[in-house]
Structure 1
Amino acid sequence: MKQVRQLFDFYINSSIHVALAVFSMTYVTLLELGLPTDWPLFCFVFFSTITGYNFVKYFGMAKFHHRRLAGRLKIIQVFSLMCFLLMLYFMWQLTPETIIYILVFGVVTFFYAIPFLPKRFFLDQQKNLRNIGGIKVYVIALVWAGVTVLLPVLDKNGVFTWDVWLTAIQRFLLVMLLMLPFEIRDLQYDSLKLATIPQKMGVKNTKIMGVVGGVVFFGIEFLKNQLSQKLILLTLTITLITLLCIVFADKKKSDYYSSFWVESVPIIWLVLHLVF
């Protein structure tokens, strides 16, 4: 049982689960917009997510404590290096325009983790984008929307229609909503200087804002030119699941509540698409 728990912890801590979530959102985009399946793109998104997330999460540890790294962290580093190499392999199978677009998001990820800002912009000792008050959730939502919606469209046909932009806005909102349980969970750990949404609004108002955001997310579906009963029902279902995750979020909840269950929402979304 202990080995199963360790394996599950590695699955979460090595960002495999979040990579499956990003992969799922990308796949959902292709299904909703009627674009052909693109496995090199899927593989790139999967391995780049692991690389990017682990770089952001473990950069500080690798830089300042490399001689005292725990065995598990060393394994994650080796695993991340393998994923980085696979990411490069699949990236070169994409179009040149797509690669340029990818590099832009790569720069954002780099500055999200690396200290580079002057102290007057900054809050704690680490002067990077992720620690600027109130900006973290928006950066993550922007990157997810860009990677899971705009990237596959650019790689397949480059035609950014009205429906594509609405889908990107929906994805931005959904990721922001899925971030709320994480921010509620981290209330007891985050510095007040981070100015997260629950810190500024309180838990109750954050949940109310989440419900309103969910309604907007679902309502945008009716503004699209290509409407279908299936997509409306699937969007409604994923909206309700997301709102339940927000309503039941609590700072006393187990880390697995957010890191596994909340991040499973995009995976559930893809499964529903494939089943129905």
Structure 2
Amino acid sequence: MSFLKQLFNFYINSSIHVALAVYALVWITLLKLGVDYNENLLYFIFYASITGYNFVKYFGIARFHHRRLADYLKWIQVFSFICFVLMCYYGFYLELKTLAVSLVMSVLTFLYAIPLSSNRRFTLRNINGLKVYVIAFTWAGVTVMLPVVELNLEMNADIVLMMLQRFLFIVVLMLPFEIRDLKYDTASLATLPQKLGIKGAKRLGVFLLALFFVLEFFKDETRLSYIFVMLVIAIITGIFVAFSKVSQGKYYSAFWVESLPIIWLGLLLLFR
């Protein structure tokens, strides 16, 4: 049992789970665009997500405490390097313009974690109120724009609406994390729960989920099954937001909330 728990913790801490969530959202985009499963793109984004997230999470530890790294962090470093190599391998088969867009997203990730000046706290993450929007924009860009660019699709109103929906969904998905982190975040971060209070942030989440769902009706092309699944995922996400609290279980946000894109994909595959 101890081994299984350690394995599960490695699965969470090494960013495999969050990478699967990103992978699921990209596949959802492909399904909604009516295109085939794209192995090179999906695997590239999966391994890039692991590499990027582990860089953000462990950059400071690796930089300042390298000699005293715990064994499991060293394993995560090795695992991240393997994922980086695999990311490069699958990236070799992608369009140059796709890689260019990926580079832009990588720079955002870099600036999110790395200080912009000699002041170590001056990163995009620490700019007043910017954190959630940087994350949501990056996720929307990776999970919608990268497939569109790679597939040489023309930008149209439906794709713009999909981008907006994805942005709204990620903002809402971040709320349980921001509520959990209220006891750690400094007031200067100006997160939504800090500015609006927990109840206010939850109300905003419900409103954004309603907007996320309603936008589907403004698309030129959609399906009844897509609308049904979006309603279900909006309700499930709303429930998770409603039950979010500062003192939440260890895996409430890190596993269950981050599982919502995977659940969304599962429902789409089931009802398509």
TM over 0.5: yes
Q: Secondary structure at the match of 1:36?
A: coil
Residue correspondence of structure 1 range 50-199 to structure 2 within 5 A: 50-117=50-117, 125-199=120-194
- Separation (CA, whole Å) in 2 of partners of 1:55 and 1:227: 37
Residue 8 of structure 2 aligns to which amino acid in structure 1?
Answer: F
Measured after TM superposition, the shift of residue 35 of structure 1 is 1.7
Aligned-pair distance for 1:194?
1.0
Q: Could you say what secondary structure the match of 1:202 adopts?
A: helix
Deviations 1:183-209 (A, max 9, x none): 000011111111111011100001001
My pick for the range that moved more, 190-199 or 74-83, is 190-199
User: Quick one: which amino acid aligns to residue 31 of structure 2?
Assistant: L
Taking only aligned residues, the RMSD between alpha carbons, in angstroms, comes to 1.0
TM-score, normalised by the number of residues in structure 2:
0.98
Structure 2 unaligned regions, length at least 5: none
- Distance in 1 of aligned mates of 2:183 and 2:194: 10
Instruction: Quote the offset at 1:6 in angstroms.
Output: 0.6
Deviation at 1:36, TM superposition (A): 2.1
Change over 3 Å in CA distance of 1:117–1:138 after alignment to 2: farther
Deviations for 1:94-119, whole angstroms, at most 9, x for unmatched residues? 01111111111111111111111475
The equivalent of 1:202 in structure 2 is 197
In structure 2, relative to structure 1, the CA distance for the partners of 1:118 and 1:75 (3 Å cut) is: closer
Q: Given residue 166 of structure 1, which amino acid in structure 2 is its aligned partner?
A: L
Q: Distance in 2 between matches of 1:118 and 1:80?
A: 27
The one-letter code matched in structure 2 to 1:139 is V
Structure 2: which amino acid aligns with 1:259? A
> How many residues end up aligned between the 2 structures?
271
Aligned residue number for residue 211 of structure 2: 216
Q: Which one-letter code corresponds to 1:222 in the other structure?
A: F
Deviations 1:154-191 (A, max 9, x none): 10123111111100100000000000000000011111
